[in-house]
Structure 1
């Protein structure tokens, strides 16, 4: 079930669009968008787009999607052909600041399990380890974060062999109503249409339904974290019964409220 949002043109209500300064800013924005449209065609032939985890020019013939991930505005999406190897919660200060949140929830995949399912024009890259490389439309040194340049949604961290994707950006039903609506739509399709949907690379979560239907809302079990890392640097205590590591995994264990 896709949760990608439609394109929406947002205008701030506190701006006076009759002012020359506002019109000039709008003209600059439109020119910038036109330039991005021109660069979109150029990006399609860039070498890095043929590499993992993008694989933009590979055939979809042997690909089967298990999960789909998309940003808030829907301009950037990735698909996955397997469940994550593990999931964890990171409390390091880098993750806190870069996500604007108490911690980062990440699911680990091999790069070969992932590929791009959208145009590359809105991909954003940021290296935040060691020397900082500002947000770029082309890959910065690894490890780096991949996000949507349009809405700013962070999607994954990319390393040399693995990626850490963020489960809240994956497409699964959040409420009972979404489960009912999604299953109702699936039931309305005839057998031929349903078969076509299941063969499509855009059909997410097929491996976690029963008879093609979602069983319940909420975070799928495969994305539930197994442990916390860098728990000493936490913003809030988390009493969830999971193992807490002071640093990386397999360092020193900590209690929920220990400092």
Structure 2
């Protein structure tokens, strides 16, 4: 398989965006589930609502464009934040790239609208809750997050105070992914990768593969292999 094909496959794996959930279909594809089965997802993170008696301390607040979907975050900074230039993110967000911040599913608490969310499965182009999927406000269609099997990817521009010094520092991206598919050059000094970070080749500010570094990494991997 060529490196381009591998990157395309990786893109499909990480993509997920908005849509109406009029057919409330779940991971097994069964649309004939009972009402209790359909509502069961509301009792699990990230959709489970934390009551005031719970030990959930809100640090950040976020909301969609219309304000019908609102949430809180209990972590002062994400586990990681990245820019993704894959074509799936470009198309689903209608922008040059996606800025995503990774959190645990238990780090979020929806205070409004968690029952009016819409899902989209980009791998099958269906509006069902199949992981990984895109999650959006069913009313204004603002992308809320990518829900993975273990984590969620939130979009920092929805966070109140993100334009403050504290906000910019807390959600500062650590790298650019799929930079070879960029539609704009971003010479910001942030590390750039041809595909998924740490799993692909590093690139310079002009989008060229850093061959020397790639060879060095290959040599280090070979040395480790010989020692084992």
Same-fold status (TM-score > 0.5): yes
CA-CA distance at 1:173 after TM superposition: 6.2
Asked if 1:240 corresponds to 2:209, the answer is: no
CA-CA distance at 1:119 after TM superposition: 3.1
CA-CA distance at 1:217 after TM superposition: 5.4
Question: Which of 51, 66, 82 is the aligned partner of 1:59?
Answer: 51
Q: What RMSD over aligned residues (CA atoms) do the two structures have, in Å?
A: 2.1
Give the secondary structure class of the aligned counterpart of 2:173: coil
Counterpart in 2 of 1:169? 158
Matches within 5 A, 1:69-218: 69-82=62-75, 83-129=77-123, 131-134=124-127, 140-172=129-161, 174=163, 216=164
Asked if 1:47 corresponds to 2:40, the answer is: yes
Partner Cα separation in structure 1 for residue 173 and residue 87 of structure 2:
19
The runs of at least 4 consecutive aligned structure 1 residues that moved more than 2 Å come to 119-122, 216-220
Partner Cα separation in structure 2 for residue 242 and residue 220 of structure 1:
14
Partner Cα separation in structure 1 for residue 166 and residue 57 of structure 2:
23
Partner Cα separation in structure 2 for residue 173 and residue 257 of structure 1:
28
Partner Cα separation in structure 1 for residue 60 and residue 162 of structure 2:
12
In structure 1, the gaps of 5 or more residues are 1-31, 33-41, 175-215
Asked if 1:258 corresponds to 2:207, the answer is: yes
Partner Cα separation in structure 2 for residue 55 and residue 80 of structure 1:
13
In structure 2, the gaps of 5 or more residues are 1-21, 23-34, 209-228
Partner Cα separation in structure 2 for residue 159 and residue 125 of structure 1:
12
Partner Cα separation in structure 2 for residue 231 and residue 165 of structure 1:
20
Counterpart in 1 of 2:10? none
Question: Which of 222, 226, 231 is the aligned partner of 2:179?
Answer: 231
Partner Cα separation in structure 1 for residue 165 and residue 67 of structure 2:
21
CA-CA distance at 1:254 after TM superposition: 0.5
Contact 2:179 2:207 in 1 (8 A): no
- Number of matched residues? 171
Matches within 5 A, 1:23-34: none
CA-CA distance at 1:72 after TM superposition: 0.3
Contact 2:134 2:146 in 1 (8 A): yes
Contact 2:103 2:153 in 1 (8 A): yes
Which has the greater radius of gyration? 1
Partner Cα separation in structure 2 for residue 113 and residue 70 of structure 1:
15
**1:173 and 1:107, CA in 2 relative to 1: closer, same or farther beyond 3 A?**
closer
CA-CA distance at 1:219 after TM superposition: 4.1
